[in-house]
Amino acid sequence: NAGVMQNPRHLVRRRGQEARLRCSPMKGHSHVYWYRQLPEEGLKFMVYLQKENIIDESGMPKERFSAEFPKEGPSILRIQQVVRGDSAAYFCASSPVWREVPYEQYFGPGTRLTVT
């Protein structure tokens, strides 16, 4: 059973460009979470999605950031007009629908975004 997959693992963007980060949850998982880790910091929650539905986006910056989890395909975290402060590691986690292992979130390897 493949784990949570994220791609790309490393992404370099110039200021003003768009960044698209992809997350494929574990098989059978329909809940996806995005976290951001700024340099020398812990992870901070950004958004929680189910298929075609945003459940909690309380951690998302108000502008330039958006997330989706379509019926088919991976979850996408989109950052428009990136700035240097967006440079961070972005982690995706997934959990099963029925929460067989209570409150277990399985983390992907992360995408390291560098804005130049």
Partner 1 sequence: AQKVTQAQTEISVVEKEDVTLDCVYETRDTTYYLFWYKQPPSGELVFLIRRNSFDEQNEISGRYSWNFQKSTSSFNFTITASQVVDSAVYFCALRTNRDDKIIFGKGTRLHILP
Binding site for partner 1 (CB under 8 A): 31, 33, 35, 41-45, 48, 55-56, 58-59, 89, 91, 93, 95, 102-107, 109-110, 112
Distance, CA of 82 to CA of 50 (rounded, Å): 26
The residue among 41 and 52 lying less far from partner 1, judged by its C-beta, is 41
- Cα–chain-centroid distance for residue 89? 10
**Least Å from the CB of residue 23 to partner 1:** 14
**Least Å from the CB of residue 13 to partner 1:** 19
Are 77 and 67 spatial neighbours (Cβ–Cβ below 8 Å)? Answer: yes
The residue among 82 and 91 lying less far from partner 1, judged by its C-beta, is 91
**3 — phi, psi (to 5°)?**
-80, -170
**Least Å from the CB of residue 91 to partner 1:** 6
Distance, CA of 38 to CA of 43 (rounded, Å): 7
